A and B are shown apart, each in its own frame.
Chain A
Amino acid sequence: MGEHPEYAFLLDHVAGREDKEVAVHILGCAECQAAAAKARRLIDAGRRAAAEPKPSKRALKIAMQAFRGEPAPSFLQLIFDSFMKPATAEAIRSGALTSRFLRFTGNVNVEIEVKEGASGAEIRGLITPANHAPEVVVIAGKTRRRSKVAADGTFVLRNVPKKTVEIRVGSSRVVTDL
Chain B
Amino acid sequence: MAPPTDTEFLARCREKDEAAWKALVERYAALILSVPRRYGLAQDRAEDVMGEVCVALVKSLDSIRDGHALPQWLIRTATRATWEAARKDRVAMTPDNLPPLTGAAPPDEMVAALEEEQRVREALAQVSERCRRLLALLYFTVSTPDYDEVARQMKMPRGSLGPTLARCLDKMGAHLEGIQRGEE
Are B26 and A43 in contact, with the CB atoms below 8 A?
no
Chain A nearest CB, measured from B21 CB (Å) = 5
Are B21 and A46 in contact, with the CB atoms below 8 A?
no
Q: How far is the CA of A66 from the CA of B58 in the complex (A)?
A: 7
Chain B nearest CB, measured from A28 CB (Å) = 24
Are B50 and A63 in contact, with the CB atoms below 8 A?
yes
Chain B nearest CB, measured from A71 CB (Å) = 9
Are B22 and A64 in contact, with the CB atoms below 8 A?
yes
1/0 per residue, CB under 8 A from B, across A13-57: the answer is 001110000000000000000000000011101111110101110
Stretch at the interface among A72-80, A92-100, A117-125, A141-149: A72-80
Stretch at the interface among B30-38, B75-83, B152-160: B30-38
Report the contact-size class of chain A (Cβ under 8 Å from the partner).
35 or more
B124 lies within 8 A of chain A by Cβ: yes
Are A47 and B50 in contact, with the CB atoms below 8 A?
no
Chain A nearest CB, measured from B70 CB (Å) = 14
* Chain A binding surface SS class: helix
Q: Which residues of A contact B144 (CB under 8 A)?
A: 15-17
B111 lies within 8 A of chain A by Cβ: no
Chain A nearest CB, measured from B78 CB (Å) = 12
* Chain B binding surface SS class: helix
A89 lies within 8 A of chain B by Cβ: no
Q: Which residues of B contact A11 (CB under 8 A)?
A: 138-139, 169
Which residue of A8, A58, A67, A175 contacts B18 across the interface (Cβ within 8 Å)? Answer: A67
CB closest residue in chain A, given B33: A55
Q: How far is the CA of A69 from the CA of B21 in the complex (A)?
A: 13
Supposing A8-B162, A8-B166, A64-B18 touch, asked if A52 and B51 sit within 8 A by C-beta, the answer is no
Looking at B48, B51, B119, B176, the one whose CB has the most chain A CB atoms below 10 A away is: B51
